[in-house]
Structures are given as C-alpha cells and as structure tokens.
C-alpha cells in the first residue's frame, strides 16, 4: 500500500448513525475506502453491504482478522465501546469510536496507551467539532466581538422516545449524560480550554429504567470562567450554545447536529447592536472522517485526538462522581408511608 492509496476501513456494528451519516461521509472521503461491515446478524450486514458496496461479515472477530482492514469505525452501544476499541487496537487497527467512548477516565487512558504503544490513531467521533461554524464563533471571540468571555452555556435535549431504545438501557450504558450531555461538555472545552474541570453536577434518574434522564454540570477553567451544561432525554428539543462576554453575547442554534445542507444562523448581540449571520453549510461528518484519515496517515496528527478522548472520559466521570458525592439521601418510603397513616 502506497501513501496515495486510501486506507481500508471497516465498521463494527450496523448502527443507524453509520447508515445515515458516517458511511455516506466515508464514501466521499479520499483517504478512506470502505472494505466491510460486520454485524452479529447476517441480514443486517448484508443490508449495509448492498447499500455501500462492501463485504458483509458475520461477527466482529472475523472482521478484525482481515488483513485488508487497516482501520475500524465502532458505532456500537456505549457499553461495548471499550471492549471493542481495545480488541481493534490489539489487532493493529486504527480506531474511530462513536461518542461516548467512556465515562471512565482510567479505561480511556488505558486505551490511549495501547494506541500509542502500537502507533495507531485513536479518535472519538464528535463530528460537530469539524463544522466550520465553531471556527467562526472562536474567531469572533478572539477578535473581541463580545469583550472578555465570562460564561459558556450549552443545552442539548431531545423528546422522550420508546423505552426500548438503546439510550434508555442501563445494561448498554445509556442515559442522558452519554447520549446528549457529552456534547455540551465537549463543546465547553473549545472555549475554556484543556484545563477545564467539573465543579458541580446533578443528574436526575428514572427509577424504573435505572438511567439518568436529565442533568446539569458546572465546569470552570483555572481563571474561573464557567461553563453551564444542560442535557436531557425527556425535553422539548433544544440544541444550542452561547458565549457571554463583558460586552455582548454570541448565540448559535443547531450547534451539534446540523444537516450537511443546513446554513447555521449565528446571532451577535451587544447593547446597541443585534446581528444575524447566515453561515456556510458544512458536512461535519465528512470533516470528522477526513480528520481521522489524516490521523491514521500522520503520527503527529494523532496526539490531540487521543488526548481529547482521555480528557472527555475523565470529565464525564467527574460529572457522575460529583453528583454522587453531593446527592441528598433518598427518602425512606416505608417510613414516610407509616407517617402518613
């Protein structure tokens, strides 16, 4: 294989996100060539293979044994991310793993070490980071358009769906934090930097499902600039962030999941000025897989992605532990019932 040849990539799991967004982007990426899709269900693998003109493989182990596969994309349920990322790295494959990789900082660090020891790319697939709208926001902040940044706030909530969906499964590591909350937490790092820490959090759980359905987290950098992150799975749809400064505010809607043909609207607000800018459309999934292909080809491009994955997992873990440490004890329902008699 020469440097000019695209890298052979395969998919572990016939997930909806792969069907709708990631694999169409892979098909347009010059640095990648889809080789195969693996599923534990032969019919699912064949359906993907027919649409995307690749091989169908039954079983993930069989796919990892293929010599024509140099990289894998893992869109499996959250609970399987660590296991199969580890297996793929040990098989010598570059890894692009769907968010959320983990809410265990030590587990993410172990995967990062394996990737570095074996000279492999390891990247968590936060596609929104590769949309050009965020560079526009960052440039405006750097130019002083809103003065000194004081607060970053972000919200991502979606309406309640069928309880049988993976996002509501405790056994598959579902829940609001890893489904939607991971986005505001990751976005906060764009504006507060790598030294951001979780200083408070609260999660709200569904007692029957056993997963968090909503939550908020407060983060801060070393200078005391804060980020307010709100998220949920039982909400009117909201998908936005804002940067609030000493002289104004920048707001961005559809911050995390804009369709590739959508032109985002940015609002710049100051005391005597209100402006709306319609920004260019961009395919953030194409940007993500292109960045992954570059990391596979260039060792220097890998380090930031690996560091990002470890830091994100540690922050999600901190959201969970901060909530557990400050949560008031659950009421004694039996005692309360006795008192009500």
The residue to which tokens 């890894």 are assigned: 95
139 and 277 in a common domain = yes
- Does position 337 have pLDDT exceeding 80, yes or no? no
pLDDT of residue 334: 56
273 and 148 in a common domain = yes
Domain count, the chain: 2
- Does position 3 have pLDDT exceeding 60, yes or no? no
46 and 139 in a common domain = no
Residues 180-231: tens digit of each pLDDT: 999 999 999 999 999 999 999 999 999 999 999 999 999 999 999 999 999 9
pLDDT of residue 327: 84
Mean pLDDT calculated for residue range 130-137: 98
pLDDT of residue 330: 66
* Residues facing residue 211 across a β-bridge: 206
Residues 158-193: tens digit of each pLDDT: 999 999 999 999 999 999 999 999 999 999 999 999
- Does position 130 have pLDDT exceeding 50, yes or no? yes
- Does position 336 have pLDDT exceeding 80, yes or no? no
Binning pLDDT at 50, 70 and 90, where does residue 83 land?
very high
Mean pLDDT calculated for residue range 107-118: 98
Output b/e per residue, 296-325; b: 16+ Cβ within 10 A. beeeebbeebbebbbbbbbbbbbbbebbee
Q: Is residue 335 a part of any domain in this protein?
A: no
- Give the global pTM: 0.94
Mean pLDDT calculated for residue range 92-113: 98
196 and 99 in a common domain = no
- Does position 339 have pLDDT exceeding 90, yes or no? no
CA angle, residues 117, 121, 126, in degrees to nearest 5: 135
Could you say which of 44, 93, 99, 110 is catalytic? 99
Share of residues in the chain with pLDDT > 90 (%)? 93
260 and 147 in a common domain = yes
CA 70 centroid distance within chain: 23
pLDDT of residue 333: 55
Cβ(101)–Cβ(108) under 8 Å? yes
Mean pLDDT calculated for residue range 235-257: 97
194 and 74 in a common domain = no
122 and 138 in a common domain = no
pLDDT averaged over the chain? 95
230 and 308 in a common domain = no
188 and 106 in a common domain = no
φ and ψ at 78, to 5 degrees? -50, -40
pLDDT of residue 299: 95
Rg (CA), the chain: 21
CATH number of the CATH domain containing 99: 3.40.50.720
Domain range for 24 is 7-128+287-317
Residues 312-331: tens digit of each pLDDT: 999 999 999 999 998 877 66
Is position 99 annotated as part of the catalytic site? yes
């Amino acid at each position: 294989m020469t440097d000019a040849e695209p890298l052979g990539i395969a998919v572990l799991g016939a997930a909806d996100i792969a069907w709708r967004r990631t694999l169409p982007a892979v098909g347009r990426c010059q640095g990648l060539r889809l080789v195969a899709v693996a599923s534990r269900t032969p019919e699912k693998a064949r359906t993907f293979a027919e649409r995307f003109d690749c091989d169908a493989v039954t079983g993930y182990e069989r796919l990892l044994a293929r010599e024509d596969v140099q990289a894998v994309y893992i869109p499996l349920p959250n609970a399987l991310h660590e296991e199969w990322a580890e297996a793929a790295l040990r098989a010598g494959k570059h890894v692009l793993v769907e968010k959320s990789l983990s809410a265990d900082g030590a587990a993410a660090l172990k995967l990062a070490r394996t990737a570095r020891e074996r000279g492999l790319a390891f990247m968590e697939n936060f596609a929104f980071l590769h949309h050009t709208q965020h560079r526009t926001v960052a440039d405006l902040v750097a130019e002083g358009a809103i003065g000194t940044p004081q607060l970053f706030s972000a919200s991502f909530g979606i309406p309640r769906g069928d309880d049988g969906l993976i996002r509501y499964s405790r056994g598959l590591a579902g829940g609001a934090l890893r489904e939607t909350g991971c986005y505001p937490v990751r976005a906060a790092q764009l504006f507060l930097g790598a030294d951001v820490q979780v200083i408070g959090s609260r999660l709200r759980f569904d007692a029957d499902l056993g997963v968090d359905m909503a939550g908020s987290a407060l983060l801060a950098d070393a200078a005391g600039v804060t980020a307010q992150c709100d998220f949920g799975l039982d909400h009117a749809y909201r998908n936005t962030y804002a940067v609030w400064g000493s002289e104004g505010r920048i707001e961005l809607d559809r911050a995390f999941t804009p369709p590739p043909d959508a032109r985002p609207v940015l609002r710049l607000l100051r005391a005597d000025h209100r402006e709306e800018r319609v920004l260019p459309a961009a395919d953030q999934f194409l940007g993500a897989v292109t960045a992954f292909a570059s990391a596979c080809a260039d060792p220097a491009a890998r380090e930031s992605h690996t560091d990002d994955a470890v830091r994100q997992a540690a922050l999600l873990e901190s959201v969970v532990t901060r909530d557990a440490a400050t949560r008031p004890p659950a009421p004694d329902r039996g005692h309360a019932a006795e008192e009500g008699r």
